[in-house]
Amino acid sequence: MPFTPAQLRASLGGVIAFPVTPFDAKLRLNLPGLRKNLRKLVKHDVCAIVVGAGTGELHSLSTEEHLAVVKATLEEVAGRRPVLAGVGFSPQTAQDMAKSCTDAGVDGILIFPPYYPGDANDDGMFAYYRDTAAATKRGVIIYSRDHANFSPAAVERLATIPNLVAFKDGQGDIRRFQQIMTRVGDRLHWIGGAGDDCVPAYYSAGVRTYTSSIANVAPRLSLRLHELASARTPAADAELSAIMKTLVVPLYAFRARRKGYEVSVMKTQMDLSGQVGGRVRPPLNDIKPEELEELRATMKAWEPWL
């Protein structure tokens, strides 16, 4: 049976994995590749799996493709980990996606900001999240990213949504995030969602759950980052600092070279390590041919974690 909102919240501790959505050379959906990747991922003790989200190129999927990804994931994971689905776009589309994914059997919904060519006001944003959450009986998580950059007061109001269980920060503004956490307290579960490279900062602020794109390539490394950052001992801090310096920070610097590389680079790393990444769909770009060998050369340092 799918999780209740309370069960979902209780399960969120550690690493949340965000699988890519593989496409073939002609940019067609590659569900066998997705299933292969999930068979590896589910062997590791991630606390949840979120598909059809940012790393999964939600923006490029039709609603039919999105549901196919969700259903394939549910079949492959088979209850061994909670499965959540990303939803978004227009208010009606977000609600429809939430309903169809709930009917398919997901354990929760991650709500992306609505599409809007400007900054919506707090009342409009609250209505969007309230109505999307009302389309499902599952627990929902709000993803603060891009123009969905909330004040502490706005998050306090959002926390009144009955089935809202967690808040995922994708802004990376630790000062603002601490203010939000202080004001709202334990009404919500707090998730660091700006990247693996922000783990030390998030965990210093008291967060103990983070979303990892590195889990696509090296789940063991993602889990080790959580363990070390949680330990808060001199030895753990030293090891964490070394891993950040040699692997994580250089990876994120590579990803920052071009908009969209946060997905393209992860997919290329997956291909280089024997998994199925494939191409990215427009408006994202595949990495440049001359960068492939450069990225390949970095993979030797990743071998102990693969």
DSSP per position, 72-86? HHHHHHTTSS-EEEE
- Range(s) of the domain holding residue 22: 5-232
Based on the structure, what is the number of domains in the chain? Answer: 1
Q: Is residue 45 part of a domain?
A: yes
pLDDT tens for residues 26-47?
Answer: 999 999 999 999 999 999 999 9
**Pairwise CA distance, residues 55 & 168, whole Å:** 14
H helices, E strands: number in the chain: 13, 8
Residue 20 inside a domain? The answer is: yes
Kindly compute the dihedral angle of the four CA atoms of residues 279, 285, 289, 290, in this order, to the nearest 10 degrees.
-140
pLDDT digits (tens, 9 = 90+) for 167-215: 999 999 999 999 999 999 999 999 999 999 999 999 999 999 999 999 9
> What CATH number did the domain enclosing 15 receive?
3.20.20.70
Q: How many other CB atoms sit within 10 Å of the CB of residue 16?
A: 29
Q: What is the mean pLDDT of residues 98-107?
A: 98
Q: For residue 117, is it within any domain?
A: yes
Domain contains 267: no
In a domain, 242, yes or no: no
pTM of the shown model:
0.97
